[in-house]
Amino acid sequence: MAEDAAAGLMLPGLRFGWLDHMVFGLMLAVSLVVGVYFGVCGRAKNTAKVDYLHGGKSMSVLPVAVSLVASHISGITLMGVPSEIYLYGTLYGLVVISTVLTCLIVNWLYLPVFFGLQLTSTYEYLERRFNRETRLLASFLFTLQQVLTIPLFVYVPALAFNQVSGVSVHLITPVVCIVCIFYTMLGGLKAVVWTDFLQGLVMIAACFAVIILGCQLVGSPVQVWNISDEGGRIRIFEMNPSPFVRNSFWTIVLGTTANWLTVCAINQGSMQKFLSVPNLRSARICLFGFGGGIITMKAISVFTGLLIYATYHNCDPISAKAISRPDQLLPYYVMQVSTAVPGLPGLFVAGIFSAALSSMSGSLNSLSGTIYEDFVLPRVSDKISDEKVNFIMQGIVLAVGVICVALVFVVEKLGTVLELGYSIAGVTSGALLGVFTLGMLFPWANGKGAIAGGLASMALVSVILVGAQNAMATGTIVYPWLPTTTDGCAANVTAGLFTSTTARPETAPAEAPLLFQISYMYYTLLGAIAAIAVGLAVSFCTGARRPSDVDPALLSPPVRFLCRPPRHYTGGDAAAAVELLAPHTAPAAGRKHSRGRRGSGAG
């Protein structure tokens, strides 16, 4: 059945109908209306910084949890993961183990610290723990990371829309980004959370609809699994410990755990949402709700990749030249399996765009807070009003959004989106994770060590990334796809095509330096280890701090016993100490904004 389907589905020229365009337009219109509502109708409640960045600290658990999932399930997941499964097998599915580990680690080590301190910017923590220079370095790294990755979020759905509508990527990208920038500027965090919530529902509905249709086409989920197994796509317990294979059990579990820690534990956007709920218990519910949602969406994306392989296992659309890039597999598949359901292709592409808008809006909102707190506030008047603060942050959203739209046209020249996303993030994510972990788990670390560790980490991963990308571009490093064939395609499709059914080894050629052969999944983990190791070494060489001099509120609960608690500190959960720490950690409502200052933990 799947063989006939594959052959019959190789139909050129499939495009959106009028109903698909209406469904897609409706999604953009709803997002815009939500932003206008919170930005105009709720303007009286949205001018203070605590409202713009933290939703007044009164958000409900459900929309925040869904928003967290929607913000981190971008088009890179919805389009990149199915392509990864189709080309390299199911090893990436082990990310579900990483998600569980991430939630446990964040709940135990990181969340109690941030929630107890109640900071507007997570990078303010580094000023209190180390010094202002460390804070500025981390803020710069975060800003650089977001500016580099937001274009990737936007390019992926634009590619999908181009595939199904024929509209140029260069035209649709600015239009959709303008909508996202507009509602993020107007509505702040409340608009971001509620649009994420609505867009998340669209995303889930579209994914399930396509899976149901795909299973009907192939026969059953069991048939999908059997075909994928026969084609070598079911790969789970590949325990090769070498860091030089592209993917294995260890690269996925260890590497993606480090990646997800940067997303969930120290990311400004995530922490803003965790701090938008009224208490630590609600924040923890959001955290584990986020974990469950991520596991669900990753499982859906992995199974979608198997569905695509089961459908095209005898007629590969890439080899048959039906599509030009692996990242176009999913929209091509959706357009062909859902032609009998008017509006469904539009719903699915709207779901992909929803994921992108959620990621982009969350990043823009968190960037506005970071740039304002760390780079603008120290240079403005002490008597700046809440209205002017709001206006400045809206201007930041606009400026960053314009820059990111321009960078989209650079992304289209690069490689597959999933690998590219992890690689780019690794340059700054490892340094950030390492510096925050250094501060929370190692009371001996000082400011000089933190700065040295962060710079060393970024330098190391940058060298690896540039070397690896250059080696792949020149063919020195090759990661061959698993075998595909066009034997089942129609004769007019396969004429003149070369058909390959033999797989080559997944390891890189010997000509490439070993450093550049390290799996891209390890970039963040390697960067974090380098930051911690260099940070500790420099700290001890320049005068390590005495643990008793560090405020225990700045350390993770498991290591607080090393410190001598100050008189105001009562021990126990960090949330219980919020009121006691309030004079120097929690901003009072309506307080005038002041310049950043060094905290008691400066080193």
Q: Going by C-beta distance under 8 Å and a sequence separation of 6 or more, which residues neighbour residue 348?
A: 206, 207, 209, 210, 331, 334, 338
Average pLDDT over residues 564-584: 42
pLDDT at 56: 46
Summary mean pLDDT of the chain = 77
Handedness of CA 517, 424, 537, 435 (dihedral sign): negative
Please choose, from the candidates 349, 304, 489, 390, the residue with its C-alpha nearest in 3D space to the C-alpha of residue 52.
390
Average pLDDT over residues 146-172: 76
Q: Which CATH number fits domain 56-411: 1.10.730.10, 3.30.1490.100, 3.40.50.300, 1.20.1730.10?
A: 1.20.1730.10
Please give the backbone phi and psi of residue 486, each rounded to the nearest 5 degrees, phi first. -115, 20
Q: Rounded distance, CA 228 to CA 234, Å? A: 6
Size (the chain), residues: 603
| pLDDT tens digits, 440-480 | 999 999 999 999 999 999 999 989 988 887 887 777 877 78
pTM: 0.76
Which of 245-249, 281-285, 297-301, 445-449 shows the highest mean pLDDT?
445-449
pLDDT at 271: 81
pLDDT at 575: 38
Looking up tokens 């792949």, which residue turns up?
A: 472
Please give the backbone phi and psi of residue 319, each rounded to the nearest 5 degrees, phi first. -65, -30
Specify burial of residue 512 (Cβ count, 10 A radius: 0-12, 13-18, 19+).
buried
Percent of the chain with pLDDT over 90: 25
DSSP 179-223: HHHHHHHHHHHHHHHHHHHHHHHHHHHHHHHHHHHHHHHHS-HHH
Cα dihedral value 450, 452, 458, 459, nearest 10: -170
| pLDDT tens digits, 339-368 | 777 777 887 777 777 667 767 777 777 787
- E strands, 404-543, are none
Average pLDDT over residues 569-574: 42
The domain ranges of the chain are: 56-411
Is residue 230 scored above 50 in pLDDT? yes
Average pLDDT over residues 44-68: 57
pLDDT at 525: 94
pLDDT at 40: 60
Instruction: Kindly indicate the confidence band of residue 494, based on its pLDDT and cuts at 50, 70 and 90.
Output: very low
Is residue 582 scored above 70 in pLDDT? no
Q: Rounded distance, CA 232 to CA 482, Å? A: 7
Q: Rounded distance, CA 499 to CA 168, Å? A: 31
Handedness of CA 20, 21, 25, 28 (dihedral sign): positive
How many other C-beta atoms can be found within 10 angstroms of the C-beta atom of residue 390? 23
| pLDDT tens digits, 378-418 | 777 667 777 777 788 778 888 888 887 777 776 665 555 55
